[in-house]
């Protein structure tokens, strides 16, 4: 069933993808695992875009499919957004030079479902845009997203910009994207990287517990 969902997303068949998700959830599949399959599909989409097998319309269509799927999955996930106090504040964006928002939107969706207040600053966000938002909302965590390899230098520059304003020790920084590895995390000098949305949520909860 997971393979059927994966294929439907990659073939951009929205009705089949949504039907597969509904069937999986009805049959008792863990919604987090369903979401993980969707993320796997989006990583493949990102790689095909980089390799020029997919183009911008393919990205847009895949993103629309993901929005429909997330609407189906949301009621099946634990929603703590009604808690009186949020789990923490997070500034999140796709870094300068990268316009991918599918992975970012999935992570933000999962963070919000788990009670975090997320400030989404969009895509192609400059280091200064991150800095301005950090100054404005005083977050606990900053999330840097990027699919393209050119995003790595932008992530590094963003971390350096946060250091220059003296706020590096006041926030935890996580990075993520289909091509991010432990080595890239060391290069960027972030606190950690998340392989998927579930990891991002776990990291965020861990950091907030340590505060």
| CATH number (domain holding residue 148) | 3.40.50.280
d(CA 65, CA 8): 10
Report the chain's C-alpha Rg in angstroms.
17
pLDDT in tens, 55-77: 878 878 888 898 899 889 988 87
User: Do the domain assignments include residue 117?
Assistant: yes
User: Do the domain assignments include residue 53?
Assistant: yes
153 and 54 assigned to the same domain: no
60 and 103 assigned to the same domain: no
98 and 61 assigned to the same domain: no
| CATH number for position 46 | 1.10.1240.10
User: Do the domain assignments include residue 184?
Assistant: yes
pTM, entire model: 0.73
100 and 149 assigned to the same domain: yes
* Counted domains in the chain: 2
Domain boundary pick from 49, 76, 103: 76
154 and 72 assigned to the same domain: no
67 and 98 assigned to the same domain: no
Evaluate the CA torsion angle 37, 6, 193, 207 in order and state its sign: negative
pLDDT in tens, 86-141: 789 999 999 999 988 878 888 888 888 788 999 999 999 999 999 999 999 999 99
User: Does 203 have pLDDT greater than 60?
Assistant: yes
Residue 204: give the domain boundaries.
89-210
138 and 72 assigned to the same domain: no
95 and 197 assigned to the same domain: yes
Cβ 203 vs Cβ 195: under 8 Å: no
Distance, CA of 1 to chain centre = 24
Q: Which residue in this structure is represented by tokens 């919000």?
A: 112
User: Does 50 have pLDDT greater than 80?
Assistant: no
User: Do the domain assignments include residue 10?
Assistant: yes
Q: pLDDT > 70: what percent of the chain?
A: 96
Mean pLDDT, the chain, integer: 89
User: Do the domain assignments include residue 82?
Assistant: no
55 and 100 assigned to the same domain: no
What pLDDT score does 83 carry?
Answer: 44
């Amino acid at each position: 069933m997971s393979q059927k969902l994966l294929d439907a997303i990659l073939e951009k068949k929205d009705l089949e993808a949504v039907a597969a998700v509904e069937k999986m959830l009805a049959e008792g599949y863990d919604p987090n695992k369903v979401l993980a399959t969707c993320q796997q599909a989006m990583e493949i989409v990102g790689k095909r875009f980089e390799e020029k097998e997919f183009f911008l319309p393919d990205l847009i269509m895949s993103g629309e499919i993901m929005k429909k799927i997330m609407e189906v999955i949301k009621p099946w996930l634990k929603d703590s957004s009604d808690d009186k106090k949020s789990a923490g504040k997070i500034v999140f964006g796709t870094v300068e030079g990268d316009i991918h928002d599918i992975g970012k939107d999935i992570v933000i969706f999962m963070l919000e479902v788990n009670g975090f207040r997320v400030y989404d600053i969009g895509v192609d966000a400059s280091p200064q845009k991150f800095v301005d938002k950090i100054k404005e909302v005083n977050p606990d965590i900053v999330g840097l997203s990027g699919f393209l390899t050119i995003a790595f230098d932008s992530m590094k520059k963003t971390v350096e910009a946060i250091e220059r304003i003296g706020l590096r020790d006041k926030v935890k920084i996580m990075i993520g994207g289909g091509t991010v590895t432990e080595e890239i995390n060391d290069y960027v000098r972030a606190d950690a990287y998340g392989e998927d949305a579930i990891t991002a949520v776990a990291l965020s909860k861990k950091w907030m517990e340590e505060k």
